[in-house]
A = this chain, B = another copy of it.
Amino acid sequence: MAGSTIGNSFRITTWGESHGKALGAVIDGCPAGLQLSEEDIQVFLNRRKPGQSKFTTARGEGDEVEILSGVFEGVTTGTPISVMVRNADQHSKDYSDIARVYRPGHADYTFMEKYGIRDYRGGGRSSGRETIGRVAGGAVASKILETLGITVCAYTKSIGEIGISHVNLEEMESNQLYMPDTEAATRAAAYLEECIKRQDSAGGVIECVISGMPVGIGEPVFDKLDANLAKAMLSIGAVKGFEIGDGFAAARANGSTNNDAFVGDGEAVYKATNHAGGVLGGMSDGSDVIFRVAIKPTPSISQPQQTVNEDGEQVEISIHGRHDPIIVPRAVVVVECMAAMTVLDLLYANQSARLEFLQDFYNKQE
């Protein structure tokens, strides 16, 4: 229990169910002095909004964010920032067909077994709408990181078997799948059309690049940068895998090719290659931090599936209604936001790594 909080010094606590009154988050640990408006958060939320294309649900979610605390005269005060999004159509649907049936690939069964009760409307707490709070927290973290020269950028790397062959962020803007390769996006769109026809769904891979990282971010043992990123990513609903740098390919490589040579000119030190993905010993090494996450296909499909009901009886289920044939495009911003918060939290921790840092800080303070 009490598993709705993540982060140590920069942390969010999310709350809310898909069809409850509202969803939101408390963002605690935001420093004072950041200019922050609801619009700053809204632009991030809009990226995960449904109804943007035929590949995302048409459900009319307004998802307008309200900041309830922590900001005074447009500036953060160092106190917790509470954000909320009201659910517009919480009573709009008849759930009798799924109220007592466990949908395959969903958390219905496990939720019921754990708690003995569940809010079956739209997945309740296990809905993708839970990520609203994460995105709000990530919007704040991203804005802070930006002032430090750190950017976090995620994009769709592959959908089904179709992968990108290059990364061009301008191309990403021009398609609804967030693929930085227009040609791949076109093929992926055709594939998704086909999935829809077959009443089926698809998965994919999201890649994320963090640029501008100082060296040494992350703690050497359990709170490694990559370990905390892995937890943050796997905590997102449909994520089934995480890899950093060469990841699983590194397991097939040799040391001589997987090691990144250091290069120095007496001033800056950098790496000739980046198989490591920007992390050595759990700490950022100055290269871009690069990782990928695997997203499973949307479990809600309209073709008939075998399952059981709450009485343990075998039944067939067909899940109708508005469901994305793919989760990936809307998850891109969620990956980005979880990464931003993870990095920021470890940036705080790093401030007391050396005695001289403390001494400089408290001398300066007086």
Task: Write out the residue numbers on chain B whose beta carbons fall within 8 Å of the beta carbon of A135.
Answer: none
A332 at the interface (CB under 8 A from B): no
Q: In the complex, how many angstroms separate the beta carbon of A245 from the nearest chain B beta carbon?
A: 6
A115 to B75, CA, bound (A): 11
Contact (Cβ within 8 A) A82 B22? yes
Name the contact of A68 in the complex, choosing from B20, B130, B215, B365 (C-beta under 8 A): B20
**Contact: B297 with A113, CB < 8 Å?**
no
Residue-wise, chain A 332-358 has the 8 Å CB interface mask toward B (1 for contact) of 000000000000000111111111111
Task: State in angstroms the CA–CA spacing of A25 and B77 once bound together.
Answer: 18
> Closest Cβ of chain B: how far from A338's Cβ, in Å?
10
Please, what's the 1-or-0 string for A257-287, where 1 marks a CB less than 8 Å from any CB in chain B?
0111111111111001000110011111110
* A250 in the interface (beta carbon within 8 A): yes
Any chain B CB within 8 A of the CB of A122?
no
Min CB distance A41 to B, Å, is 15
**What is the distance, in angstroms, from A138's C-beta to the closest C-beta of chain B?**
14
Chain B binder among A50-58, A166-174, A309-317: A309-317
Is A262 in contact with B109, judged by CB distance below 8 angstroms?
yes
Are A31 and B269 also in contact (CB < 8 A) when A234-B230, A243-B240, A283-B111 are? no
* Least distance between A224 CB and chain B CB atoms (Å): 5
Q: A1-B352, A79-B119, A148-B362 are in contact. List 20 more A-B contacts (CB 8 A).
A: A1-B30, A3-B28, A15-B68, A15-B79, A17-B72, A17-B79, A21-B68, A32-B115, A33-B115, A110-B283, A114-B353, A161-B252, A201-B254, A202-B255, A203-B254, A227-B233, A231-B231, A240-B277, A255-B298, A351-B351
Check B266–A111 contact: CB distance below 8 A.
no
Compute how far the CA of A62 lies from the CA of B230 in the bound complex, rounded to whole angstroms: 34
- The contact size tier of chain A is 35 or more
Report A173 CB to chain B, min CB distance, Å: 23
A8 at the interface (CB under 8 A from B): yes
Q: Knowing A82-B24, A107-B280 touch, does A253 contact B297 (C-beta < 8 A)? A: yes
Asked if A355 and B110 make an inter-chain contact with CB atoms under 8 angstroms apart, the answer reads no
Chain B residues within 8 Å of A148, by CB: 358-359, 362
Q: Give the residues from 194 to 225 in chain A that come closer than 8 angstroms, CB to CB, to chain B.
A: 195, 198-205, 214-216, 219-224
- Write the A62-97 contact mask toward B (1 if CB under 8 angstroms, else 0): 000011111010011111111010000000000000
Residues of B within 8 A of A110 (CB): 215-216, 280-281, 283-285
- Smallest Cβ-Cβ distance to A221: which chain B residue: B4
Counting chain B CB atoms within 10 Å of each CB, which of A7, A13, A119, A301 scores highest? A13
Our pick among B82, B241, B265 for the contact of A248 (Cβ within 8 Å) is: B241
Residues in B whose Cβ lies below 8 Å from that of A349? 1-3, 9
| A14 at the B interface (CB under 8 A) | yes
Contact call A243/B241, Cβ cutoff below 8 A: yes
Question: Considering the complex of A and B, which 3 residue pairs feature the smallest CB-CB distances, nearest first?
Answer: A107-B281, A3-B219, A114-B216
**Cα-based distance from A126 to B282 in the complex (angstroms):** 9
In the complex, A366 Cα to B284 Cα: how many Å? Answer: 14
Contact with B along A133-152 (1 / 0, CB 8 A): 00000000000100111000
| A9 and B20 form a contact (CB under 8 A) | no
A220 to B78, CA, bound (A): 10
A260 cross-chain contacts in B, Cβ below 8 A: 104-105
Rounded to whole Å, the gap between the CB of A363 and the closest CB of chain B is 8
Q: Which of B113, B240, B308 contacts A244 (CB 8 A)?
A: B240
